Amino acid sequence: MNNQFWFSLSLSCVLGAMVAPGLAQWKAAVYQTAEKSAQRLTRVAEVPLTAGAPLTEKLDYVFVDPARTFQTVVGFGGALTDAAAETYYKLPAATRRELIRAYYDPKDGIGYTLGRTQINSCDFSSDSYTYVKEGDAALATFDVAHDRRYRIPLIKEAIAAAGGHLTLFASPWSAPAWMKTNGDMLHGGFLKPEYRDAWARYFVAFIRAYEKEGIPIWGVTVQNEPMAIQTWESLQFTAEEERDFVRDHLGPTLEKNGLGGIKLMVWDHNRTFMVQRASVILGDPAAAKYIWGIGFHWYTDPAYDHVAKVHEAFPQAHLLFTEGCTYPFDWAKIHDWSWGETYGTAILNDLNHGAEGWTDWNILLDQTGGPNHVGNFCYAPVHADTRTGELTYMNSFYYLGHFSKFIRPGAKRLLCSATKDVLLATAFMNPDGSIAVVVMNATDAAMPYQLRLGPNAAALESPAHSIM
């Protein structure tokens, strides 16, 4: 399915209440994505907000209090990996333009503002590689020539489509094999103590190299999934080792090289262990002073409350979802509605528990769920058939768009609650004063409710299996 119709939509705000003193000026523009319909981020109504009647338990409500604000949004986006870039440049030019506009154009697309990329290779690369020659601890041979073929050009196109700025962070999957205890970029292994300083300088070299390519790096994570021993590129850090590496090597090295403003994130792994990891690392003031925040993934138990627990224990730490995807890949199931609802459920819960942004995994994969050099195939919100040049948009693309398009960088989360547990809801005040309210219904029944914004109300209905 090639969703060319998408670009004919005139989109502005999910539930945009224009903040103005006159009650008659309040209105909600309603956009909807619903199963068993053609609605995909479709504007379905404009509803006035009028003086609300007295509350009654016979009705269901979504309440929004603009006077109560919480965290500020960094952005929403996805990962610009080797796999995404290689797939992208196998497509016809017109199809590439469609894709980049669909993701990054704030008016005609879903307005991604956040991105992730990798340092060295990862599983979603066609092969394993590093940027230096064997044994070069001085990093004299450091060169990102590999990335100039596909990945760097893709990132530049994304930056241009996003209006000239993309908040981009980078993560390593593995140090070079010769820096590791197992002598292999794959299958885990630890960083040898004698290479801790060289590995810290590697981050600096990467940031500087990308700057020279015209790509500013906003932040880095210390290590992708540091507890995992994977069949692909992986490097292990205990909590204590990650703390010590940040405190004694990476933090001081970034600062010494004039990169103290780089947002340094630890953990970058599943929610389930993030409380323990935060306690060990952020509990050390000498390490914590270098750390901007905690990155986290979703691949085991949901553990949404762990996001809130870290925020409660360490309110100075920023919280960013750094990776998530659905898998295993099966083309026959590409249009299952559950994929979008998985995203919607996670994003709503993460935001309501204190996350400041949300980063999907690959923005684009091919018809096999790759390329991937270890067979670890998965879904992306958009798949390209590189044989025909056709794009397939999964419903997860539209679910993501209900957040990325309407909740903009700098938005502040508002107090929001629903009287029905099955209505998942969140609300944000954008820098321009508009309010975005996202409501999701994953049940088989439509749910009528009243949106209550202070004393004002609008009668709405959330269709079965929808996000609005």
Catalytic residue flag (residue 225)? yes
Of 304, 273, 116, nearest to 210 by C-alpha is 116
Q: Which of 98, 242, 323, 341 is catalytic?
A: 323
Name the nearest CA neighbour of 465 among 432, 429, 422.
422
Strand order in the sheet with 382-385: 365-366, 382-385, 390-393
* Active-site residue flag, 194: no
Catalytic residue among 98, 157, 225, 242: 225
Q: Shortest CA distance to 424 belongs to which of 381, 465, 380?
A: 465
3-state SS, the chain, equals CCCHHHHHCCCCCCCCCCCCCCHHHCEEEEEEEECCCCCCCEEEEEEECEECCCCCCCCCEEEEEEEEEEEECCEEEEECCHHHHHHHCCCCHHHHHHHHHHHHCCCCCCCCCEEEEEECCCCCCCCCCCCCCCCCCCCCCCCCHHHHCCHHHHHHHHHHHCCCCCEEEEEECCCCHHHECCCCCECCCEECHHHHHHHHHHHHHHHHHHHHCCCCCCEEECCCCCCCCCCCECCECCHHHHHHHHHHHHHHHHHHCCCCCCEEEEEEEEHHHHHHHHHHHHCCHHHHCCCCEEEEECCCCCCHHHHHHHHHHCCCCEEEEEECCCCCCCHHHCCCCHHHHHHHHHHHHHHHCCCCEEEEEECCEECCCCCCCCCCCCCCCEEEECCCCEEEECHHHHHHHHHHCCCCCCCEEEEEEECCCCEEEEEEECCCCCEEEEEEECCCCCEEEEEEECCEEEEEEECCCEEC
CA atoms within 13 A on the CB side of 187: 5
Which of 119, 55, 111 minimizes the C-alpha distance to 78? 111
Kindly report the backbone phi and psi dihedral angles of residue 171, in degrees, each rounded to the nearest multiple of 5, phi listed first: -135, 135
Catalytic residues, by residue number, are 225, 323
